[in-house]
Amino acid sequence: MTKVMRETTLQTLGLGNVIDIFERGQMPAAAADLVDEVFGKQKKRGSMVISGANGIVGAGKTMQLGSRLQPYDVRVVALDFPGAPDGIGKQYPGLVQAFGPEGAAAIMQNIVRLSYDGTRLPSELQQLKPRFLLEAIPEILEIKRAHYELFRGSFPDIEIRSVTSGFPSSELGVGVAHPAFPHEINKIWEIVEPEPSAITQLLWALGLIPVPVSDNWSFVLDVLFCGVTLAGLRYHDASNMPFWKIDKFVRKLMGPNPFRAHDAIGAKGANFLTWSCLHHLAEMYGDVFKPTAALTERKDTGQTWYPPNHFRPLVNWSLDESADEDFRAWILGPMFQMTSLMLHEKRGHLTHLNAIGELCAQFRSGILAVVRDLGPDTVAKTVRAYHRLQPEAAQSAWYPGAFNNMDSPEWQQLYVNAEHNGEVGVVTLSRESYNGDVDQELNRALDWLKAERIERVILTGDFHLSTQMVGADTSEFFPALEAAEAGSRIASDWSRTARRFADDFEVSVGFVNGKRCLGGMLELMLHCHYLMAVDGAQFGMPEVTLPVVPGMEGCHWPFRKARAEDWPKLLQLLLGGRPVRAGDAVGWLIDYAGPLEEALQTAWKVATGADHGLKARSVESGALDGVPREIAGLPPADSPESEAARKAIVQCIDAACHVSLADALATQAKHSAEFMLSAECRGGMVGTEYTKTMAV
């Protein structure tokens, strides 16, 4: 019987636990079956209709779903008014970039563009047998309701979902599938429906990320995004600080730059949507959501928040200590209050609430991770400070008790979960990049498994929120650019966590299901006794391009596991920065690559100790001799910073490989930390991002 540390996010989609996937050796749902269920079998296959298809949301989703449904012969009907500006045509260059000219042409050929006048559906629609309507028309409740009636009148069995950002399903009378910007590529959909439907499971099977949320006015993303925008607006009113500068301070504090985001999305539409969400939320919950006059004005004018190019900001603003304290109260206070409301209303799985901010609203850490880090007392103090600044917000929608149970696994394991069946444990990562929170949660998950006497473990993604493993979260390195101790601590702590997979378990299997596993995530996975992947996954060490020196033992651990004749390949990987495909990495970097189901079944065999035919590669604990310092044919570095990083990486390899395994961790950490203090690191991507984000 399966035991879980906390509910898996897959379970919220009705798709079971992750360990079930390995036990069964197959995914819990297949796209082809779900396409049959939603659109009918091949001969009777119906179509998908997207209304408002030329709008920002409609056009983006026409592309995203069109490209995914085209292989299944599901026609996509793009419906809009005859005079609507062509939003779909604008998407074509992006489509070519992603799928090539032939792929793009095939996708576009599968899209049927029809016009209607808003009152009568085009007669051609009958032949296309619409089975699923995704409504993306303007945010006016009466118009939406009339639109659904129009469709139901002609197609009584049609499934309807609205992309609305504000209206609850109970008001609309249809389910909600609320997507996140940018609509062409963002995979998150907030779903409101009584039970996980075939449509929702189909979205998952197509590689998208449906996230069930409760049926309340506005959804989680809107509360967070509109909320942080409103917090910025209120600070603007209180301080006169221009929006562009508030963006910089908000980005430094939390990650998003809400005003730039509005302008980037399109101020006219975005301003209205934000106002509309806040307006309805204020009616429902009180003044904490009340739009300010500046937003109300801009909902009609569509005026941008940033000045035009010829008036790029000229006079800088700064915050002294006291002003900074006020700023934190103005921004974090309402965000925490709004979060308390969402928790009180049980709007979703905590991992989802947390992830939505990160995946859709640029939060550096999800709002719950921020809250958890500060603790309930500091959070309540911050909200009280905010209420002193804006007393009317204290009148409603504040639930400090929502933060009382932070010790529960649901709060403690926002990014990492663990499951086991009494014999094998599965540790799942819900975050694509590794950071301090992931590190701590990973340790707690491993502690839990050890306490449960589990000695065989699989480390993998969560098959839901994390569709790839991109490496370390480079914003974690910011303190390391200032102090060697910070860099050394990060590298040492994270490496010690990674070593637990080598030392604490009888068998550990790293399983890569997504598109790629890079940098710090690869270093973590390499510590497992076996590293396995699906065909097509890519592995790489892009640190040299950032540039940084790998910190989680990437400069010696893989050499200790590989044969001497394969060392040049590892050196190429580290110094070239280019990824390799799973199939090409078997034997010297990973241990297995194969088709999905075969890979799942093999991983389970390895984990359970069944006959699997793979040989574990041992880790050499002594010093290594003959590790090369250069390789032939390495193309020149593309920048002086990368050139410096190559030299530093070679020095790190040299030093870490020429000491014992016991000493190598500290050696690697020292080299990694020292390079982060260099001018070359400061001049590269990490340093530039640090300057842009923190030096405001």
Partner 1 sequence: MSQNNGMYSRARIPYGTWGSSYFPAWQTSALAEVNIGQFAGESMNRILGLRKVPKTELDYLIIGSTVPWHWKFWNAPLVASCLGERIPGYHMEQACATGLQATLLAGAEVDSGANDVVGVLTFDRTSDSPVGVFPERRAHQRTVPLADVWDNFGFDPATGNAMITTAGIAARKYKIGRKETDEIAFRRHQQYFDSKRSGFLDRTLVPLEVLNLQGRTLGRIDDDVGVRELTLGSLSAMNELDTCVTGGTQTHASDGMACLLVATPEKARELSPQPEVDIRFVAKAEVRTHPSLMPEAPAMAVQKLLERTGLTMSDMKVVKNHNPFAVNDAIFARMLDYDWNCMNNTGSPLVWGHPQGPTLTRVVIEALEEAVDLGGGHVLVFGCAAGDVGISAILKVS
Contacts to partner 1 by CB under 8 A? 237-242, 293, 307, 311-318
Asked if 421 contacts 2 with a C-beta cutoff of 8 angstroms, the reply is yes
CB nearer to partner 1: pick between 315 and 632: 315
CA proximity to 524, closest of 454, 480, 473: 473
- Cα-only R_g, the chain: 26
CB nearer to partner 1: pick between 81 and 317: 317
CA pair distance 219, 627, nearest whole angstrom:
55
Q: How far is the CB of 309 from partner 1 (least distance, A)?
A: 9
Asked if 689 contacts 551 with a C-beta cutoff of 8 angstroms, the reply is no
Q: How far is the CB of 246 from partner 1 (least distance, A)?
A: 11
CB nearer to partner 1: pick between 301 and 395: 301
Is residue 25 classed exposed, middle or buried when 0-12, 13-18 and 19+ CB atoms within 10 A define those classes? middle
CB nearer to partner 1: pick between 41 and 311: 311
Q: How far is the CB of 225 from partner 1 (least distance, A)?
A: 23
CA pair distance 130, 122, nearest whole angstrom:
12
CB nearer to partner 1: pick between 241 and 343: 241
CA pair distance 207, 27, nearest whole angstrom:
12
Q: How far is the CB of 470 from partner 1 (least distance, A)?
A: 28
CA pair distance 326, 10, nearest whole angstrom:
40
Q: How far is the CB of 341 from partner 1 (least distance, A)?
A: 28
Q: If residue 4 lies in a helix (H) or strand (E), which one and from where to where?
A: strand 3-4
Asked if 164 contacts 176 with a C-beta cutoff of 8 angstroms, the reply is yes
State the Cα torsion 400-405-409-413 to the nearest 10°.
Answer: 30
CA pair distance 573, 66, nearest whole angstrom:
36
DSSP 3-state of 135: strand
Structure tokens at 12: 């919220």
Q: How far is the CB of 268 from partner 1 (least distance, A)?
A: 17
Q: Which amino acid is at 575?
A: L
CB nearer to partner 1: pick between 60 and 242: 242
Q: How far is the CB of 295 from partner 1 (least distance, A)?
A: 13
Q: How far is the CB of 685 from partner 1 (least distance, A)?
A: 17
CB nearer to partner 1: pick between 207 and 313: 313
CA pair distance 611, 605, nearest whole angstrom:
6
CA pair distance 72, 603, nearest whole angstrom:
30
Q: How far is the CB of 75 from partner 1 (least distance, A)?
A: 48
CB nearer to partner 1: pick between 119 and 240: 240
Residues 6+ away with beta carbon under 8 Å from 207: 68, 187, 467
CB nearer to partner 1: pick between 144 and 248: 248
Q: How far is the CB of 318 from partner 1 (least distance, A)?
A: 8
Asked if 166 contacts 280 with a C-beta cutoff of 8 angstroms, the reply is yes
Distances (CA, A) of 165 to 51, 52, 57, 194, 271: 16, 15, 11, 18, 13
CB nearer to partner 1: pick between 118 and 307: 307
CA pair distance 60, 266, nearest whole angstrom:
14
Asked if 580 contacts 512 with a C-beta cutoff of 8 angstroms, the reply is no
CB nearer to partner 1: pick between 116 and 317: 317
Q: How far is the CB of 162 from partner 1 (least distance, A)?
A: 35
Q: How far is the CB of 287 from partner 1 (least distance, A)?
A: 18
CB nearer to partner 1: pick between 70 and 304: 304
Q: Give me the phi and psi of 530, to 5 degrees please.
A: -130, 140
Residues 6+ away with beta carbon under 8 Å from 670: 488
DSSP bridge partners of 48: 76, 132
DSSP 426-442: EEEE--SEE-HHHHHHH
CB nearer to partner 1: pick between 84 and 294: 294
Q: How far is the CB of 495 from partner 1 (least distance, A)?
A: 37
Asked if 100 contacts 91 with a C-beta cutoff of 8 angstroms, the reply is no
Asked if 23 contacts 421 with a C-beta cutoff of 8 angstroms, the reply is yes
Q: How far is the CB of 230 from partner 1 (least distance, A)?
A: 16
Asked if 131 contacts 39 with a C-beta cutoff of 8 angstroms, the reply is yes
CA pair distance 605, 627, nearest whole angstrom:
34
CB nearer to partner 1: pick between 248 and 372: 248
